[in-house]
Structure 1
Amino acid sequence: MPLYIDYRPDSLEQVAGNEQIVTALSNLVSRKEGRPHSFLFTGRPGCGKTTFGFVLKNLLEVSDEDFHIYDTANTRGIDVIRGIIDDMKYSPLNGKNKLYLLDECHMATTEALNALLRTLEYGCPEHCYFVLCTAEFDSIKKTLREALGRRCARFEVKALNPREMTDFLNGILKSEGFEEYPENIISKIISVADGSPGEALNALDSVIELTDEEEIIKAIEGYIYGGKEVIEICHILVNDKVLQKWREVSKILAQLKVEDVERSRRAMLNYFEKILLNKADPSVANMMTLLTESFMYTGRAGLTLTCYYICRKLEGLSDDIPF
């Protein structure tokens, strides 16, 4: 099994970092009266928002059959909320409670969020709980954002700092049978993960079977840039000698086999960041802006459209690109 699955926390004691949230959740869930029925976790991607949802599942004694997860980026309409409201009428199948986790809830429609808010305020049975997760809380309409803040126990999940990440990785490595592991490799993984425990485990998973230190470094760098296809796309975008950029980039995108499109987007950002740190280049900064703002969390189609817009702008064929 992948490390991020093997080492996903089952309890608050297993959560790395965010001690204040761990303490607060422990106190809230232990209440016999006045326990909140809705929890809102905000914070940057990969910091552990949904992990807290899985931990709450166990704390609230929710069975697998009564734990419902919704990717709101793909199921964002009011019909989803109506389905939840209908399901709430029924008792749990096995455990004591039901839990509904709405990931990336900022992607839900205004109509859906309004229906959800009414449910949270007036119609939440004793056996039903909600976990809302979002990396873009500020993108929600102000009135809805304020209402969610009032009706949910809100927690801002922080990325792990280097010390916390070092302790976290050393604990994993010890559990995997490594009494010692090169410090420079751990530092490299920490740099790649950028505070995300899940990203750190994915990077570690890609090298944990390797023994040669040079091979490990190369593998981690390959992980950073997401493979040769992503590097090829970046090369084309920054190479002034390639005139028909979209024609070349579209060929690569058509063949690109990527399970995690957002990882490819982050890989491109890492590549362009290194260029920008070495030389001030407005065109590179513009590419980074488009990759970070306009099309995040829109899947493969969003990555394709982002690359198309960048190519059109660099080829001088359009003035209406959003940067």
Structure 2
Amino acid sequence: MGQQALYRRYRPQSFANVRGQDHITAVLSGAIKKDDVSHAYLFSGRRGTGKTSIARILAKELGTADRDIYEIDAASHRGIDDVRELKEAVTSLPYESEYKVYIIDEVHMLTTPAFNALLKTLEEPPEFVIFVLATTEPDELPETITSRCETHEFRQPSADQLTDAVQDVAEKEDKEIEPAAAAVIARAADGSFRDAFGLLEKCLRAADGDSITADLAETVTGVPPHELVSQIVFAGIAAGDAESALEAINQAEEKNLDPDTLFARVIAVVRAVLQIRLAPELAEGIQREVSAELYEKITKAADAGADSGITAKTLHTLLRYRNKLSADTLGHLPLEVAIVNMIDR
């Protein structure tokens, strides 16, 4: 049998270990200390932000044994019969704890009759029962359900928080990882700790030895290689060379790179140039997120000012074409049109 997945192995075990959700952990830990815990919680937020992890920590901090913690997947137990079984089960006393904690994940998947059946139990549960409802779609829940819960909205972790998490786990696994590689994984994870650890795991498997480079991370995650992005932005847009930029886009198409991801990366690099030019104190954070070679080109363009060929108008044009034309249906065409519009005048 293979090892446990990284995201499970390094799931936080206490409120102190949770990253980026201080506005929630402070309230929950305070409630426990004051013996003022709610009978029902609603945790909402994007996937991979730690909803079920914090629900389990809440149960553990209350002294709840594993056998008194029940995790239910509402996507596969969504009908009224499932909720009726739950209503019968909650009436039995805990095996060995003060509380029984029911964690219902993806609760928005319950049917309308199931929600109606759950309502009374949620409103007046036995004093030894605590419900934690978790969802990625809070707007799909009936108001009668949300109004009976203490609600907490989970924030999407920042790129820095994801990068730090990836580096910490790599270190615990006794592996070396380039800072730029950790940043690549963080970008590809798109605000999800779970996805970040999953991508790190793939990189560890693909690595030749105990080191993960930025090039390897780009290959595994599908994030556009920094060489292509650099060619589009600096050899193409900044230099006024449409041929060079379009050639790089053609290479991206041959590599089957996601058009929207490439466009977003081009915008991010142009934005980084303007950020360092106008707010130099942001340079350190930007340096952590890109390769040394790309950072050198970004700072050089920032120092050159408008003579670099990259201005606020450049960013505005890119954003306008990305918003106006959909990469979902047009592939790399929106980026190509934006480049031609800027250069062929």
User: What band does the TM-score fall into relative to the shorter chain?
Assistant: 0.5 to 0.7
What's 2:80 paired with? Answer: 78
Query: Which of 46, 49, 52 is equivalent to 1:47?
Result: 49
Q: 1 or 2, which has the higher helix percentage?
A: 2
Contact 1:37 1:129 in 2 (8 A): yes
Query: Which of 104, 118, 121 is equivalent to 1:119?
Result: 121
Q: Identify which of structures 1 and 2 has the higher relative contact order when contacts are C-alpha pairs closer than 8 Å and 6+ apart.
A: 1
Contact 1:103 1:132 in 2 (8 A): yes
Contact 1:203 1:220 in 2 (8 A): no
Contact 2:74 2:106 in 1 (8 A): yes
What's 1:89 paired with? Answer: 91
Give the percent of matched residue pairs that are identical in Structure 1 and Structure 2: 31
Letter in 1 for 2:189: A
Contact 1:41 1:134 in 2 (8 A): yes
Unaligned runs of at least 5 residues, structure 2: 224-256, 267-320, 332-345
What's 1:38 paired with? Answer: 40
CA shift at 1:174, angstroms?
Answer: 2.8
| 2:102 aligned counterpart, secondary structure | strand
What's 1:196 paired with? Answer: 192
Letter in 2 for 1:206: K
What's 1:102 paired with? Answer: 104
**Would you say 1:177 and 2:140 are equivalent positions?**
no
What's 1:4 paired with? Answer: 7
**Would you say 1:29 and 2:27 are equivalent positions?**
no
CA deviation string 1:199-246 (max 9, x = no partner): 111111112252467877346533449xxxxxxxxxxxxxxxxxxxxx
CA shift at 1:186, angstroms?
Answer: 0.8
What's 1:63 paired with? Answer: 65
RMSD across aligned positions (CA): 2.7
Once residues 203 and 133 of structure 2 are traced to their aligned partners in structure 1, the CA distance between those partners, rounded to angstroms, is: 33
| 1:188 aligned counterpart, secondary structure | helix
What's 1:206 paired with? Answer: 202
Once residues 82 and 10 of structure 2 are traced to their aligned partners in structure 1, the CA distance between those partners, rounded to angstroms, is: 31
Once residues 101 and 218 of structure 2 are traced to their aligned partners in structure 1, the CA distance between those partners, rounded to angstroms, is: 37
CA deviation string 1:182-210 (max 9, x = no partner): 11111111111122111111111112252
Once residues 103 and 224 of structure 1 are traced to their aligned partners in structure 2, the CA distance between those partners, rounded to angstroms, is: 30
Contact 1:206 1:219 in 2 (8 A): no
**Would you say 1:274 and 2:261 are equivalent positions?**
yes
Once residues 118 and 330 of structure 2 are traced to their aligned partners in structure 1, the CA distance between those partners, rounded to angstroms, is: 36
Contact 1:62 1:97 in 2 (8 A): yes
CA distance change for structure 1 residues 214 and 97 in 2, over 3 Å: closer, same or farther?
A: closer
What's 2:220 paired with? Answer: 222
Contact 2:15 2:25 in 1 (8 A): yes
Once residues 262 and 199 of structure 2 are traced to their aligned partners in structure 1, the CA distance between those partners, rounded to angstroms, is: 22
CA distance change for structure 1 residues 4 and 214 in 2, over 3 Å: closer, same or farther?
A: closer
CA distance change for structure 1 residues 149 and 191 in 2, over 3 Å: closer, same or farther?
A: same
Which TM-score applies when normalising by structure 2?
0.62
Once residues 214 and 51 of structure 1 are traced to their aligned partners in structure 2, the CA distance between those partners, rounded to angstroms, is: 28
Once residues 50 and 161 of structure 1 are traced to their aligned partners in structure 2, the CA distance between those partners, rounded to angstroms, is: 19
CA deviation string 1:142-169 (max 9, x = no partner): xx2x333321111100111122223322
| 2:41 aligned counterpart, secondary structure | strand
CA distance change for structure 1 residues 130 and 282 in 2, over 3 Å: closer, same or farther?
A: same
Letter in 1 for 2:202: S
Once residues 156 and 74 of structure 1 are traced to their aligned partners in structure 2, the CA distance between those partners, rounded to angstroms, is: 24
Contact 2:59 2:101 in 1 (8 A): yes
CA distance change for structure 1 residues 214 and 137 in 2, over 3 Å: closer, same or farther?
A: closer
Once residues 260 and 326 of structure 2 are traced to their aligned partners in structure 1, the CA distance between those partners, rounded to angstroms, is: 12
How many residue pairs get matched?
237
Once residues 287 and 115 of structure 1 are traced to their aligned partners in structure 2, the CA distance between those partners, rounded to angstroms, is: 46
Once residues 114 and 161 of structure 1 are traced to their aligned partners in structure 2, the CA distance between those partners, rounded to angstroms, is: 37
What's 2:282 paired with? Answer: none
What's 1:162 paired with? Answer: 159
Once residues 138 and 272 of structure 1 are traced to their aligned partners in structure 2, the CA distance between those partners, rounded to angstroms, is: 30
CA shift at 1:53, angstroms?
Answer: 1.5
| 1:154 aligned counterpart, secondary structure | strand
CA distance change for structure 1 residues 220 and 275 in 2, over 3 Å: closer, same or farther?
A: closer
CA distance change for structure 1 residues 155 and 287 in 2, over 3 Å: closer, same or farther?
A: farther
* Aligned ranges 1:141-156 → 2 under 5 Å: 144=142, 146-156=143-153
Which TM-score applies when normalising by structure 1?
0.66
